Structure 1
Amino acid sequence: MNAQVETFEFQAEVRQLLQLVIHSIYSNKDAFLRELVSNASDALDKLRLEAFRDKDLKVDTDDLHIAVDIDAEARTLTVRDNGVGMSREDVVRLIGTIAKSGTAEFLRKMKESQDAAGAQELIGQFGVGFYASFMVADRVTLLTRRAGEDTGTRWESGGEGTYTIEQVDDAPQGTSVTLHLKPADAEEQTADYTSAWKIREIVKRYSDFITWPIRMAKQGGQDGDGGSGTEVETVNSMKALWARPKEETSDAELAEFYKHIAHDWADPLETIRMRAEGTFEYQALLFVPSHAPLDLFMRDGKRGIQLYVKRVFIMDDCESLIPEYLRFVKGVVDAQDLSLNVSRETLQQDRQIQLIRRRLVKKILATVKDLQAKDAEKYAKFWTEFGKAVKEGLVNDPDNREAILEICSFGSTADAEKPTTLREYVERMKDGQQDIYYMTGDSRSVIENSPHLEAFQAKGYEVLVLTDPIDEMWVETVADFDGKPLKSIAKGQVDLDSDSEDDREEKSKDFADLLTWMTGALGDSVKEVRLSSRLTTSPACVVGDTNDLAPNLEKMYRAMGHEVPAVKRILELNPDHPLVTGLRAAHAENPEEAGLAETAELLLGMAVLAEGGELTDPAKFIRLLAARLERTL
């Protein structure tokens, strides 16, 4: 015999909160079923644990499962488990959590939260995922009996002003939640949740890896609980590859799983497994693709890995768990416990998330390092596909910069076909060489034909050839590798001169007047004119000061809309080139000669063009060059 029904009234502010849960928090109404299945799975986990702890607890744990029943005619959907269940006190405390939300403490915190995101995370602290049911139902009935107790409890509400609680004597062990679905033609009802196909699709998408079987009547059956004449099937796979021992998973299974989650047609290049145990437990199964996705460098490209909590799918592209420079990595992280907001769609930035992220990054970089050492072909494939993205980490991830530098490869003058690592470069450095030399540019051919390279090639120094746009940025951030400074051959002073100190002083005196005059004559275009020790065959080159922005980087910033002050370059002259020595002689003979200024401008223009730069006034350069050629005829 049932006890008297007790009716309770929601407080005014609680009704407002419930409406927020129903209409505003979840972006996808399908999430209601995920929440109910997740709660049922938790109840089964708790029963198994309690039965293990309390040997006297009289419960049957032989067939723990979750059942989903559809009654299309009555328009009801029921999710039922035979788990630990709840006492009347549990119902008030847990299902009634939202009723407690009207306390002064909650209101105080709501007022302190100034933005919508903050309010949403605050709501998440009250665990009201159960109330997502009201997105699709106009009435919800909960029937439950706690394991070991004789009587059960029924809770029911229309999600408006009141809810009822009554004692039930004949309730089965566990919990069933029956949703009395809104009319099919309701404006806010976007899917038919009496469709067995639709329910199966939601279960497969969100709860496929739940440990417990989720059972439904086969198509055409009437009763998902296995009633007379009804055939029941398990609709979730329960196969969480990441939770199985390595020896129990085949390469073919892993490849198929990767293709499923990454929507890829090719096998992965590498598989990465992780398992953390102790106070905070999680498992990870990650994959490095064999080719870069088309949206790798698109601003709105998808990134992140799938997040599960206790095998319940939470989100598809969890950006919080992977840095942007590793956005090509795919896979799954399954944690035992995480702080989630009420919709399970946005992670709170807590210590556990940051801890997982740090460990994933270190493991991925260590895996690439192993490839580099043990499988040159795989590593070369990886770097060709993803090297440009990985180098972004040199700018954005200072904590792992050394590890990233170790796995990077760069073009080099040592071998045009084979990139080199910085470690290999250091091992090949000449005796007495202190710096790691590099040059950035638009292409390898531009750098190889640059006058800046002449003296380095002549003296046998290796130079890194950096042609990716990101190279312009990271070289400004990374000061050294393994104690060896990185030095641009196109910036600052370079001392490669084989002349004696006396010879250098002699040249400085000989060219002093010319340098002073040219610095004044070209003052609007250059910061300084000086002699060079980096040239052997070219008459001149332009270089930057040690701390100046590189021309390409300056161009990139301007393209992004940044205001960047114009940077004047330094013009360096080759004191042994006939054109320069002839200019010095002509200037010494007649400093007022009008043609000298034209020659100086032509010399500067040629130097800019030689490094692949852009002339500030191409038309003027052409006029000067044409006039000079005309006079030679």
Structure 2
Amino acid sequence: MGSSVETLEFQAETRQLLRLVIHSIYSNKDIFLRELISNASDALDKLRLESLTDPDLAGTDPAALGIWLETDEDARTLTVRDNGIGMTRDELVEVIGTIAKSGTAGLLEKIKESKDASGTEGLIGQFGVGFYSAFMVADRVTLLTRRAGTDSGTRWESDGESTYEIQSVDGLPVGTSVTLHLKPADGEDGLADYLSEPKIRQVVKQYSDFIRWPIMLTARRTDAEDGTAAAPDTINSMKALWARPRNEVTEDEYHEFYRQISHDWLPPAETIHMRAEGTFEYEALLFIPSQAPFDLFSRETRPGVQLYVKRVFIMDDCEALMPDYLRFVKGVVDAHDLSLNVSREILQHDRQIRGVRRRLVKKVLGALKDMRSKDAERYATVWAQFGRALKEGLVEDTDNTEALLELVSVASTHDPQGTTTLREYVERMKDGQDAVYYLTGETRATVENSPHMEAFAAKGYEVLILTDPVDEVWVERVPGYDGHRFQSVAKGLVDLDGPGEGDPEAEAERARRDQDFAALLSWLTTTLSEQVKQVRLSSRLTTSAACVVGDAHDVTPTLEKMYRAMGQQIPPVKRILELNPAHPLVTALRTAHAAGADDSALAETAELILGGALLAEGGDLPDPARFTRLLTDRLAHTL
């Protein structure tokens, strides 16, 4: 017996996603079977895991678990059935009827951005809504499910349009059964192939051969004399790829396994297959992707390494095995000596797991270093996708600072188009140069055109151009590279070719200049005291009138904004205004001040100079409206 049928509406975004799935996302319809089998496998993994700690499920026999594919040519149906964890009615509505929380809006935006069909085929799996691919081949889908440990089941049915029906049903077995009522044949759609044994075997072999649960095919044929179905036949190998010697695994097998665990259509950039023996044995099969997932920098993103114990699935996204900055690495670690009921909390404090993590990290960083030295073009692609995340490691992972610094590849003034490594930078340093110079900013153009760069460009000093937000943090945390400290060209005093002790003429010239400007600098420091801590002469400017710099240990304006955006309140940091003593505007200001010009007019000029310096570095004006009024008034007086 069952309850009355209830009809519910899909969310608007869900309906939009359904239309995209059916009409435009996939060029290869085979994907629907891969997605449904993957969902079934996940349900079996969850049941196996819960049975370890739930007394009501403790009697679950792993040998009895599996996935069944059942075809019926007469009814034109294909059923994917499992005896996994199943779903309650509420879980069913949440997972299938309402999917916006799974990232539907983000998926729709990604699909709009994608330029071709091949770029969209892997997207839906990334968002966890692969169930809807069933509507590519079916005009009606019926789902029966009962969650393990409950008495009542649920029936769900929809044509993939605007509504779905849901009903409580008694007497269902534990697990989930998804029946696809294939669309009517039009002679060219090929949908009847999905009722044929050879086609199903081919799709399972291609996409699901490594799933650890048996996939059994039962085909009911119209030519059978008694109309009965053939005996079930297991059609996947269930061979754990990571347990096989590397020389026995083909690249195609690696790539297909990677697709299964990552839902990424592109082959990985690098495969790491390793086995550790001794006091703690484990196998690991890790992949460095070729492209970053859409949510790489989302707060909800979790590491992509799965943990198995003796081929028994334990957990997805095992944070204990991989640091956050390597969250893009996908793969499997199969440990031999852990308990099956190990928890995430236990793993965080397990000495052996910490040892595994250290070795995995070194393997990944070593593989990236080898890639950089052997295949610069491939490494450039990987760094473009994951460099920002890797640089987070310079903040988080002090044990591997040196290895990470060897991987850094950033823009510099040496090459207007390309990038440089720190090793290459050091090899090009001038004689006597003791610092690695850098400047941070929002864009390369902003940095290159900054007044702070003028003297460095004039003197031929190379400067690193750092434009990722994380750059603001790691250059402050890391003391240096290869014995050379990191030095911002926008902080502290800069004297690229200051007078030596044996150059009395240069020292005398500087003393005269400082004396000439002393009164003006003192007056400006007082006049602008609410905005700057000091006004001084600059040795880093050649063409601009002024620039704003920080003290050697000041927090940068960008980092100050980042802290505030994260809710951390820090005191405002006053900076230093530096003037170019050779610039006509600055010399004219000195002359006017010495001649006793009106202080209010001079103060307005000082405000304009400071505002111009802030704008030149891409900063924010304290009072944009006042700055605009002062500037327009001055322009009007010149006409």
TM-superposed deviation, 1:193: 2.7
> CA 1:432 to 1:190, structure 2 compared with 1: closer, same or farther past 3 Å?
farther
- Deviation for aligned residue 1:477: 0.8
Q: 1:241 to 1:217 in 2, by over 3 A?
A: closer
Report the Cα distance in structure 2 between the residues aligned to 1:214 and 1:625, rounded to whole angstroms: 76
The separation in 2 between residues aligned to 1:344 and 1:598, in whole angstroms, is 62
Secondary structure in 2 aligned to 1:391? helix
In structure 2, how many angstroms separate the alpha carbons of the residues matched to 1:540 and 1:240? 65
Q: SS of 1:490's equivalent? A: coil
Q: CA deviation at 1:629?
A: 2.1
Local SS of the residue matching 2:417: strand
* 1:308-331 residue CA offsets vs partner (Å, 9 max, x unmatched): 110111112212211111111111
Q: Which residue of 2 aligns with 1:6?
A: none
Q: Report percent identity of matched pairs.
A: 58
2-structure distance, mates of 1:207, 1:256:
9
1:575 matched to 2:581? The reply is yes
Q: Work out the CA distance in 1 between the residues paired with 2:44 and 2:311.
A: 20
State whether structure 2 residue 380 is matched by structure 1 residue 380. Answer: yes
Q: Cα–Cα, structure 1 residues 439 and 184, in superposed 2: closer, same or farther, change >3 Å?
A: closer
Distance in 1 between residues matched to 2:215 and 2:556, nearest whole Å: 64
Q: What do residues 82-109 of structure 1 show as CA deviations (whole Å, max 9, x unaligned)?
A: xxxxxxxxxxxxxxxxxxxxxxxxxxxx
* Cα deviation code 1:136-160 (max 9, x no counterpart): 46xxxxxxxxxxxxxxxxxxxxxxx
Superposed CA deviations along residues 332-387 of structure 1, whole A, max 9, x for unmatched, are 11110224546799845311221111111111000000011000111001011111
CA contact (8 A) 1:340 1:346 kept: no
Whether 1:610 aligns to 2:610 is no
Residue correspondence of structure 1 range 18-167 to structure 2 within 5 A: 31-33=46-48, 66=63, 136=148
The Cα shift of 1:67 comes to 5.8
Cα deviation 1:583-619 (Å, max 9, x = unaligned) = 1111112165432111111111111111111100111
Cα distance in 2 for partners of 1:342, 1:31 equals 14
Aligned to 2:581, the other structure's residue is in SS state: coil
CA contact (8 A) 2:303 2:323 kept: no
Name the counterpart of 1:271: 271
Q: Does 1:590 align with 2:571?
A: no
Alpha-carbon offset, residue 188 of structure 1:
12
- In 1: Cα distance, 2:369 partner to 2:174 partner: 49
2:440 is aligned with 1:459:
no
**What is the aligned partner in structure 1 of residue 174 from structure 2?**
193
Give the TM-score of the pair, scaled to structure 2.
0.66
Report the residue type matching 1:475 in the other structure: V
1:68 CA drift (Å): 6.2
Counterpart of 1:290 in structure 2: which amino acid?
A: S
Report the counterpart of residue 442 of structure 1 in structure 2: 442
- The aligned counterpart of 1:631 is 637
The yes-or-no answer on 1:504 pairing with 2:510 is yes
What does residue 561 of structure 2 align with? 555
Instruction: Tell me which residue corresponds to 2:394.
Output: 394
Structure 2 partner of 1:542: 548
Looking at structure 2, the residues matched to 182 and 425 of structure 1 have their Cα atoms a distance apart, in angstroms, of: 68
User: Deviation digits for residues 216-255 of structure 1, max 9, x if unmatched?
Assistant: 89689xxxxxxxx994644762311111111111111111
Pairwise CA distance, 1:303: 2.6
Inter-CA distance 299–509: structure 2 relative to 1 (3 Å threshold): same
Counting only pairs closer than 5 Å after superposition, residues 354-365 of structure 1 correspond to structure 2 as: 354-365=354-365
Go from structure 1 to structure 2 and tell me whether the alpha carbon gap of 1:348 and 1:603 turns closer, same or farther (over 3 Å shift): closer
Partner of 1:284: 284
Contact 1:540 1:571 in 2 (8 A): yes
Taking structure 1 as reference, are residues 460 and 66 closer, same or farther at Cα in structure 2, changes over 3 Å only?
Answer: same
Q: Distance in 2 between matches of 1:32 and 1:610?
A: 61
SS in structure 2 of the partner of residue 361 of structure 1? helix
Q: Which residue of 1 aligns with 2:244?
A: 244
- Does the aligned pair in 2 maintain the 1:215–1:232 contact within 8 Å? no
Partner in structure 2 of residue 226 of structure 1: none
Q: What letter corresponds to residue 622 of structure 1 in structure 2?
A: T
Matching residue's letter, 1:297: F
Q: Provide Cα deviations, 1:414-464, integer angstroms capped at 9, x if missing partner.
A: 002110000100000011111000000011111111110000000000000
Q: Matches of 1:194 and 1:408 in 2, distance apart?
A: 49
Tell me the distance in 2 between the aligned counterparts of 1:609 and 1:69.
Answer: 65
- Secondary structure at the aligned position of 1:530 is classed as strand
Is contact 2:321-2:353 (8 Å) kept?
Answer: yes
**Partners of 2:256 and 2:285 in 1: CA distance:** 13
**Change over 3 Å in CA distance of 1:515–1:349 after alignment to 2:** same
Distance in structure 1 (CA, Å) of the matches to 2:628 and 2:432: 45
Would the aligned equivalents of 1:275 and 1:284 in 2 still touch at CA under 8 Å?
A: yes
- Structure 1 residues not aligned, in runs of 5+: 1-26, 39-64, 71-76, 80-134, 138-180, 199-203, 221-228
Q: Which amino acid is 2:495 matched to?
A: D
Tell me the CA shift for residue 305 of structure 1. Answer: 0.8
2:533 to 512, 527, 530: 527
> Does the C-alpha gap of structure 1 residues 628 and 439 become closer, same or farther in structure 2, counting only changes over 3 Å?
same
Conserved in 1, the CA contact under 8 Å of 2:581 and 2:587?
Answer: yes
Aligned residues: 465
2:13 — aligned with what?
A: none
SS at match of 1:475: helix
Q: Which has the larger radius of gyration?
A: 1
Letter in 1 for 2:458: A
SS, match of residue 553 in structure 1: helix
8 A contact 1:240–1:311 mirrored in 2: yes
Deviation at 1:182, TM superposition (A): 5.5
Q: Are 2:309 and 2:339, in contact at CA under 8 Å, matched by a contact in 1?
A: no
2:152·2:172 contact (CA, 8 Å) conserved in 1? no
What does residue 522 of structure 2 align with? 516
Equivalent position of 1:99 in the other structure: none
1:304 to partner: Cα distance: 2.5
Contact 2:551–2:575, Cα closer than 8 Å, also in 1: yes
Residues 247-266 of structure 1, C-alpha deviations (whole Å, 9 max, x = no match): 11111111111111111111
| Structure 2: gaps of 5 or more residues | 1-41, 54-61, 68-81, 85-146, 156-167, 180-204, 221-228, 500-505
Q: In the alignment, residue 494 of structure 1 is paired with which amino acid?
A: V
Matches within 5 A, 1:243-392: 243-339=243-339, 341=341, 347=347, 349-392=349-392
Superposition map of 1:406-425 within 5 A = 406-425=406-425
- SS of the equivalent of 1:252 reads helix
Give, in whole Å, the separation in 2 of the partners of 1:271 and 1:217: 32
- 1: distance between equivalents of 2:366 and 2:305? 19
Q: Indicate conservation of the 8 Å contact 2:517/2:590, yes or no.
A: yes
Could you say what the CA RMSD is over the residues aligned between the two structures, in angstroms? 3.6
User: Structure 1 CA distance, aligned partners of 2:276 and 2:437?
Assistant: 42
Q: Tell me the CA shift for residue 630 of structure 1.
A: 2.4
Q: Secondary structure at the match of 1:272?
A: strand
Partner of 1:601: 607
Tell me by how many angstroms 1:299 deviates.
1.3
Distance 1:324 1:189, change over 3 A: farther
Mapped partners of 2:367, 2:415: distance in 1: 26
The residue type equivalent to 1:618 in the other structure is P
- Checking the alignment, whether the CA contact within 8 Å between 2:268 and 2:287 is kept in structure 1 is yes
2: CA distance between counterparts of 1:629 and 1:216?
A: 83
